[in-house]
């Protein structure tokens, strides 16, 4: 009896998947609401990170209101937009893209309160505590394996981005700063999200496949140990 039931579930999942494909579902669907949420989250999390960088520039002295709203933070903000901001967006879009390939509805929704908290904490204590939002997924026929792959896609995207930023390390000045932060941020994001706790991606990947979890996590750790130690 359990085997028959499992077969029926598998059959329904296959029908659902083929139905989505037969309707020629776009490879990447979005909406004006999602784009608005992504833009606000991108700017806010980048600004919070720029404030944290300002602390470092000032030798761990809290920046004044005139500094975080003036030209002092401009360069730091630009660096943040193309490092932590892009890293965050690509992480979330990795989840979204894979989820949509399995026929699920998937869109990012920001958490406005958490974005404000991130900016406030960065200004007051120089620590970035970021939970800017998440990709919300609805797919009643998605399997545990598919959920695991959806979860893994975020850290994998950050790992790819870390390698994409590495060529900038051969440059100097502004581009080197972008490359350095891009590598460090993406490896840290990938490693942190692979922790098998709470709502982090690692918990879903581990539930799907311990082998896949160990393989991906160890890859991130090895690459991180080699590069981050040299760049910090």
Q: Which residues are catalytic?
A: 92
Do residues 119 and 51 lie in contact, with contact meaning Cβ atoms separated by under 8 Å? yes
Q: Which two tokens stand for residue 119?
A: 């900016």
Which helix H or strand E contains 107, and what residues bound it?
Answer: strand 105-110
Q: Collapsing DSSP states into helix, strand and coil, what is residue 102? A: coil
- Kindly tell me the sign of the dihedral angle through the C-alpha atoms of 180, 165, 133, 201: negative
Give residue for tokens 């160990």: 214
Q: For residue 56, list its beta bridge partners.
A: none
Residues listed for the chain: 232
């Amino acid at each position: 009896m359990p085997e028959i039931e499992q077969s029926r579930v598998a059959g329904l999942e296959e029908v659902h998947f083929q139905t989505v494909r037969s309707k020629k579902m776009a490879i990447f669907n979005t909406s004006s609401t999602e784009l608005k949420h992504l833009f606000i989250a991108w700017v806010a999390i980048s600004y919070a990170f720029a404030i944290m960088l300002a602390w470092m520039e000032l030798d761990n002295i809290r920046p004044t209101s005139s500094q975080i709203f003036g030209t002092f933070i401009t360069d730091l903000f630009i660096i943040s937009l193309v490092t932590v901001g892009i890293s965050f967006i690509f992480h979330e879009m990795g989840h979204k893209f894979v989820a949509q390939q399995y026929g699920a509805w998937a869109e990012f929704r920001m958490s406005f309160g958490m974005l404000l908290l991130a900016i406030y904490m960065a200004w007051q204590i120089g620590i970035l505590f970021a939970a800017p939002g998440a990709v919300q997924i609805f797919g009643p026929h998605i399997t545990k394996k598919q959920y695991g792959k959806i979860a893994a896609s975020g850290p994998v995207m950050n790992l790819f981005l870390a390698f994409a930023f590495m060529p900038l390390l051969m440059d100097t000045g502004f581009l080197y700063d972008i490359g350095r932060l891009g590598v460090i941020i993406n490896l840290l994001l990938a490693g942190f999200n692979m922790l098998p706790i709470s709502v982090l991606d690692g918990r879903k990947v581990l539930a799907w496949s311990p082998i896949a979890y160990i393989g991906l996590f160890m890859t991130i750790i090895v690459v991180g140990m080699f590069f981050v130690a040299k760049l910090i």
